[in-house]
Amino acid sequence: MRFALCLFADEYSRVVASCTRIPNHPHMAKPSDTAKPEQPSSRLETLTQGNVALMGALQRRGAKDSFGSLKFLAAIRPAEWLELVHTHGTPEGSPLTPTEYAAALASNVERHFPTASLAAHLADGRRLGQIPALKGVARFLWDHPGFDLVTANLNATTRLADPRSGPASPQLVAGLRSLQRLHELGATWDETAALLDAGYHSAADVAAAEPTELNTRLAGRIKPEQRILALQHRAKTLQKAASRRR
């Protein structure tokens, strides 16, 4: 069983890399948890690629406590997505294998609900929750359910103050900024954990890294190697765009 789970983890990492698209345009809009309103049923149809059986299962699952939101999907872990796909199948006519479709579902949910997905990663002991620099972020997100990492102005730190505990700590602000910057890079939260653990806290850090060193430090953490190269290419694109705006 343990061997099978390891095989799934490796295959899942490979497929997620193929499903994760890094925008080519530096100003391309990114989804956020507070993006424009959309009917949950319509959004669920988009996320599942019209898989009616899976839509029904997810609607039943979220009916009790989602209050019309689909953010509950962020708590579903990759292995559970695969189990759901094996139970309810892939969309009719889809060329994707169950593993590819499960990876696409997880990737789509994270892309549409980045802050809720971040909270789930931190809360249930995934790699991101083991990063010391992010201490306090999980509690902050719990105490501020309306916080949106994508749109937050983290330079206005007074807005992060808590009436009960006072101003946000420098460590919390630094952690949130690192998460925001790496999300802008297009990294998934699992990839963000690998980048932070390797000492890369922003697109500028990734862009400035020597490619061989970057590959060495991220080998086995971000797969495949082409994904590491794609992230660095995106980082350099962002840096060039920032330089032109100065």
Asked whether the bond before 224 is cis by omega within 30 degrees of 0, the reply is yes
Crossing angle between the packed helical segments 189-197 and 170-185, to the nearest 10 degrees: 120
Categorize the per-residue pLDDT at 119 as very low, low, confident or very high, splitting at 50, 70 and 90: very high
Provide the pLDDT for residue 12. 46
Residue 212: Cβ within 10 Å count: 8
pLDDT class for 212, splitting at 50, 70, 90?
Answer: very high
Could you report the per-residue pLDDT of 92-115, keeping only the tens digit for each? 999 999 999 999 999 999 999 999
Task: Report pLDDT for 65.
Answer: 55
**Which band of pLDDT confidence, cut at 50, 70 and 90, is reported for residue 220?**
very high
What 8-state DSSP symbol labels residue 158?
G
Single pTM value for the model: 0.80
pLDDT value at 158 more than 90: no
pLDDT at 166 over 70: no
> What is residue 61's predicted lDDT score, i.e. its pLDDT?
87
Q: Where are the domains of the chain?
A: 2-245
pLDDT for 136: 92
Assign 22 a pLDDT band (cuts: 50, 70, 90).
very low
Residue 147 confidence (pLDDT): 93
Q: Copy the structure tokens of residue 128.
A: 């991101």
Q: Do you know the residue count of the chain?
A: 246
Whole-number Å distance between alpha carbons of 25 and 17: 19
* pLDDT surpassing 70 at residue 30: no
User: Which of 184, 170, 180 is CA-nearest to residue 136?
Assistant: 170
